[in-house]
Chain A
Amino acid sequence: MDSIWYKILGVVVSFILAFIVGMTYMGLSRKIIARVQNRKGPPFYQNFIDAMKLYSKSTAIHHGLMQHLGPAFIMVSSIMTLMIVPVLNDGKWFPNLNFDGDLIFLLYIMVFGPLGMALGAGQTGNPNSAIGVTRGLSQMVGFEIPWVMALVALMMQFKTTSIVDLMEVQAQSGTWLMFSSPFAFIAAVLAMLGMFRYSPFDIVGAPTELASGPVSENGGKYLFTLMSSGAVFAFAKLTLYVDLFMGGADNLIVLLLKTFAIYLIPMLYGVVSPRYRTEQAIRYFWGWPTFFGLLAILHAVFF
């Protein structure tokens, strides 16, 4: 049962799961945000309808090879992330090619896609796309700092760079890391705000300013791929947080509960607040989140 085909099957299955869960969460978030803003909002399955529509549309134009490949790049990033992060604790279901779950590798593969996508967006020639990309990259420099600090704190504390080992630590001690390393958790969650790009950090897409930014010239199959990639990526990231800080999940129900709980944080943070300017966003991340990151490292070193 350890054959490569079995693993590939696992990837496909977890991809489908991630797709469904991610799409549902995005639909739910639209609904919830709408209710907060006292609107009715679309049904939670609206995203599936959108995706089906995009998939069935035929795409008439493209702007060149890089744009054509851009969605494929970002798909690589999403699926690779999914493949590193163990979905369930025992690993029997969805046995991913987890590459031993190395965190440094994870950090880098997570930016692989956005950069490829950025190249695709660049080739369209739409200035809004490029502006969106520059904003996204700038914001990334912002939130990566507390994020890395949180991870470094964990890695230092437990002398491992592997997600699997960190989950093992939690399973053995019985305490979730969000309690035993609270500062790292806070820093990581604050960094997540930028990662999920909800308001007030939605400077990349910025509907009214940039006409949805990098994706603006993509339609049909391209947008479909981007959308599914986004869903998968969101799920992978949520699972990562659950694995790192909440002891992972023993079965799918727990996983869904935990991930949704995490998902609520970036969604609800600043639902009613207006968008930051890019430099404000960057400075935000270099403020309190970085401070908590420092505390996390100090905590890891001295306790």
Chain B
Amino acid sequence: MDMIYLIFLIFLSGAVISWLAGKVNHVLQDILFLASVIVPSVLFYMNVSVGQEVHFKAGGIDLSWGITDFGWIFSLIVLGLGVLAAIYSVGFMKGKERRGYFYFNYVLSIMSMLGILFSKDFVSFFIFWEIMTWSSYLMVIYNGKHTQSIGIKYFIFSAIGAYAMLMAIVISHSVTGNFMIADLITAYPVLSFNLQLLIPILLLVGFGVKAALMPLHVWAPGAYSNSPMAYTSVFSGALSKMGVYGLSIVMLSMISHLPEGFWFREVLAWMGAITAAIGTLWAVKQDDAKKLLAYSSVAQLGYIVTGIAIGTELSILAGLFLAVMHAIFKSTLFMAVGAIERQTGTTNFTEVTGLIRKMPWTFLASLMSIIALAGIPPLGGFVGKWMLYESLITSDHYMLIILVFFSSTAAFLYCYKFLFGFFLGQEEKEWAHVKEAPVLMVIPMLVLAGLSFVLGTFPGLILKPIDAGMQALGFAPTNQHLWDTSILFNSWGNQVALQPILYAILGIFVVFTIFLTIKGYKNTRYVTTKDISSSGEVPKEHENLTFSINFFQPFMRAVEPVMRRQIDKYYNGFANGLEALFDFTRKIYTGNGQTYAIYVILFLIIMLLIKNNVFG
């Protein structure tokens, strides 16, 4: 049996077994769960090489699986994150109910994502896509809260996306005669112009939903924050990247054949940037960490989409690099929120404060990830941001860059809110008992945080596979010309060397840390956060000095006109209108036998009257 089949078989049986094993023994269940994620991942990297393919038939349709160089980049995200978040999940789920349910859906999600990357034909692509959708849906409703609102909303949007995609798939089948993705790409340049537009638009709707692109993003905040955090790290980190994966393929191998300067790319790039701006503003407003990160994810995906939509080599590199980075730092942050939720029972900034001394490792991981998210050197986020800006400037997108810059500056606001809200500020007695999260949860966070540190200085490590993937899509090699292991170039010949930056920053930091520490070392002692000069008075124990409500009130006042329009309201209005309409159609069935008989007679009479127009 081919290794590829074996991988999926292990995933599939692992999902079922790790569910059922809960009836026997919880430790066994944890081990089986970890094994069913780790073993196939190891097998994948050991035994599956790019270009290896299997072919088979199902329902008379030719199917084919195999990984491409481009998919390989995303497999790093999926499996890397899958394994780390699985380790985290074991710690997170300890003592929680419905572990089997969680494990089952978790493994299926990972499997389906890998399957998407493996699919060389649309049918298996779609099947895996849908498995991914419903397994993530089952995770969204894991808590049993808001199932009818958030859960259904997620599923409806996913279904809209999936069905748009399905429509594109069957149309492409009618054109090419089979379901192979490669065949559509080959046939694309010679299609009629209408189809050249219709197919990508439908596919983009499908992928745009998963990538939470405006205006299809409304499901994301609820779904991200409602699923268990151990899963959300995968949800936001990897699952949303499947949208990016599809989007990239559509953008890079189909739309690139449209006439030069066509509005398609511009529109998509703007949609990405607007998504980023709106997502950021909403993230600033949130008081709940889950919601904040969820909106932040929406915003970050906006950058990625913008990068890919611009379509120059540098911008695609930037988009894909940001995708990897986002997977790393956002999943760390979701994990950190999960750890805090587990230890304190809440994720609301207005409730929990001053955890830095209680959960130092979680803080460290969050700090690193936040720095990466904000795009501040020397961490990985900066590399992505730098490439994105340079690509926007060098390709003359001067207004776009302002919008993108606005959102990433405004992102500092929520970055600070996250760190301050949870870790800094007054240390309240209420949280004095809080302990650091279990080791199983801390280690994955630290590993990921370390990764974003390494990639900040040596982005070449990940740019190399990205470059290989882009070459597989027909781009020229970009090594030495746009990037080196730790040097970045733009197309005007400017460059940034990352190693000197790191050493300089570290050097200055160390010098002044030593200075601050050594000087008067013996005299300086730690005092609590109640021991402060509050306008010259010493605050009493009962005085509440926590600042967390209306954190960015002045800023929100300044941007209030933008926030007033919520697209959610329009969707809800639309849905309510539809339900009212359906109530009307329902009344066709009055429940009265005479009415039904009249229908029959009327039908007969009308048919007899118009029979010659209809038939013959």
**Do A and B share a complex?**
yes
Q: Are B508 and A126 in contact (CB under 8 A)?
A: no
CB closest chain-A residue, reference B415: A115
Question: A194–B534 Cα gap in the complex (Å)?
Answer: 27
B410 at interface by CB-CB < 8 Å: yes
Residues of A within 8 A of B555 (CB): 134, 137-138, 141, 278-279, 282
A33 at interface by CB-CB < 8 Å: no
Residues of B within 8 A of A160 (CB): 492, 494
Question: A112–B381 Cα gap in the complex (Å)?
Answer: 13
CB distance from A8 to the nearest CB of B (A): 8
Question: A107–B393 Cα gap in the complex (Å)?
Answer: 15
Q: Are B495 and A72 in contact (CB under 8 A)?
A: no
A75 at interface by CB-CB < 8 Å: yes
Q: Are B520 and A59 in contact (CB under 8 A)?
A: yes
As a 0/1 sequence over residues 398 to 440 of chain B, the CB contacts with chain A under 8 angstroms (1 = contact) are 1101100110011011011001100011110000000000000
Q: Are A161 and B354 in contact (CB under 8 A)?
A: no
B5 at interface by CB-CB < 8 Å: no
CB distance from B501 to the nearest CB of A (A): 6
As a 0/1 sequence over residues 163 to 197 of chain B, the CB contacts with chain A under 8 angstroms (1 = contact) are 00000000000000000000000000000000000
Question: A112–B525 Cα gap in the complex (Å)?
Answer: 27
A112-149 contacts to B, CB under 8 A, are 112, 115, 118-119, 122-128, 130-131, 133-135, 137-138, 140-142, 144-145, 148-149
Question: A111–B520 Cα gap in the complex (Å)?
Answer: 29
Q: Are B504 and A83 in contact (CB under 8 A)?
A: yes
Taking A76-B509, A127-B545 as contacts, is the C-beta distance between A102 and B405 under 8 angstroms? no
Taking A130-B425, A161-B390 as contacts, is the C-beta distance between A108 and B516 under 8 angstroms? no
B127 at interface by CB-CB < 8 Å: no
Taking A105-B377, A126-B533, A297-B398 as contacts, is the C-beta distance between A61 and B524 under 8 angstroms? yes
CB closest chain-B residue, reference A60: B523
Question: A211–B536 Cα gap in the complex (Å)?
Answer: 9
Residues of A within 8 A of B551 (CB): 134
Q: Are B390 and A104 in contact (CB under 8 A)?
A: yes
CB distance from A217 to the nearest CB of B (A): 6
Question: A297–B405 Cα gap in the complex (Å)?
Answer: 15
Residues of B within 8 A of A62 (CB): 524-527
Q: Are A75 and B508 in contact (CB under 8 A)?
A: yes
CB closest chain-B residue, reference A68: B516
- Interface stretch of the complex, out of A151-159, A169-177, A256-264: A151-159
Q: Are B425 and A161 in contact (CB under 8 A)?
A: no
CB distance from B417 to the nearest CB of A (A): 8
Residues of A within 8 A of B375 (CB): 108
B346-386 contacts to A, CB under 8 A, are 354, 356-357, 367, 371, 374-377, 382, 385-386
A47 at interface by CB-CB < 8 Å: no
Cross-interface CB contact of A122 among B371, B398, B424, cutoff 8 Å: B424
Q: Specify which of A107, A127, A160, A217 lies most central, judged by the most chain B CB atoms within 10 Å of its CB.
A: A127
Residues of B within 8 A of A119 (CB): 367, 416, 419-420, 424
Residues of A within 8 A of B520 (CB): 58-59, 220-221
Q: Are A80 and B508 in contact (CB under 8 A)?
A: yes
A283 at interface by CB-CB < 8 Å: yes
Residues of A within 8 A of B545 (CB): 125-127
Q: Are A99 and B406 in contact (CB under 8 A)?
A: no
Cross-interface CB contact of B533 among A73, A107, A161, A216, cutoff 8 Å: A216
Q: Are B516 and A222 in contact (CB under 8 A)?
A: yes
A58-91 contacts to B, CB under 8 A, are 58-66, 68-69, 71-73, 75-76, 79-80, 83
Cross-interface CB contact of A124 among B374, B416, B500, B532, cutoff 8 Å: B532
Q: Are B508 and A64 in contact (CB under 8 A)?
A: no
Residues of B within 8 A of A105 (CB): 377, 382, 386, 496, 501
Question: A225–B517 Cα gap in the complex (Å)?
Answer: 12
Cross-interface CB contact of B526 among A63, A104, A127, A145, cutoff 8 Å: A63
A97 at interface by CB-CB < 8 Å: yes
A277 at interface by CB-CB < 8 Å: yes
Cross-interface CB contact of A125 among B425, B496, B497, cutoff 8 Å: B425
Q: Are B398 and A104 in contact (CB under 8 A)?
A: no
Cross-interface CB contact of B357 among A64, A72, A152, A159, cutoff 8 Å: A64
CB distance from A181 to the nearest CB of B (A): 14
Residues of B within 8 A of A161 (CB): 390, 393, 490, 492, 494
Question: A144–B490 Cα gap in the complex (Å)?
Answer: 23
Residues of A within 8 A of B263 (CB): none
A109 at interface by CB-CB < 8 Å: yes
Q: Are B497 and A99 in contact (CB under 8 A)?
A: yes
Taking A135-B554, A140-B409, A278-B558 as contacts, is the C-beta distance between A221 and B398 under 8 angstroms? no
Q: Are A145 and B558 in contact (CB under 8 A)?
A: no
CB distance from A201 to the nearest CB of B (A): 13
Q: Are A104 and B386 in contact (CB under 8 A)?
A: yes
CB<8 Å pairs between A and B, sample of 23: A69-B516, A72-B513, A97-B500, A102-B496, A104-B386, A105-B501, A108-B386, A111-B409, A111-B412, A122-B420, A125-B530, A126-B545, A127-B426, A130-B425, A140-B412, A152-B398, A156-B393, A156-B396, A159-B394, A161-B494, A221-B515, A222-B516, A282-B558
- By a beta-carbon cutoff of 8 Å, the part of chain B in contact with chain A is 354, 356-357, 367, 371, 374-377, 382, 385-386, 389-390, 393-394, 396, 398-399, 401-402, 405-406, 409-410, 412-413, 415-416, 419-420, 424-427, 490, 492, 494-497, 500-501, 504-505, 508-509, 512-513, 515-517, 519-520, 523-535, 545-547, 551-552, 554-555, 557-558
List 7 other contacts, CB 8 Å, given A125-B528, A130-B420. A102-B386, A107-B405, A123-B529, A156-B398, A277-B554, A278-B554, A297-B398
- Closest CB pairs A-B (n = 7): A125-B529, A278-B554, A122-B424, A138-B555, A72-B512, A282-B558, A127-B547
